[in-house]
Structure 1
Amino acid sequence: MAFDIDRFLRDAPLLTAPTKKVRVPELKHWFPEGEEPDWEVRGLTGDEIARANDVNSRIEVLRDAMEVIASAVRSNRGEALKEIMGLSDVPNDLARHFDHLMYGSVNPQISREAAVWIFKLYPVQAKSLIMEIMFLTNNGPDLGKLQDSTVTPT
Structure 2
Amino acid sequence: MDAVMIATEIEERLVVEGDLNGHIGCNRENINKMRGGHSIGEMNEEGELITDFAMAFDMAINNTFFTNDDNVTYSSVRRQTQIDFLMCRRNHLTDMKNCKVIKGDRVSKQHRLVVLDLLLRRVGMGKKVVQPKIKWGRSEKQEIREFSGSIS
The answer to whether the superposition gives a TM-score over 0.5 is no
TM-score normalised according to structure 2 size: 0.24
- Structure (1 or 2) with the greater helix fraction: 1
Structure number with greater CO (CA < 8 Å, separation at least 6) is: 1
Q: Which structure has the greater CA radius of gyration?
A: 2
* Higher strand proportion: 2
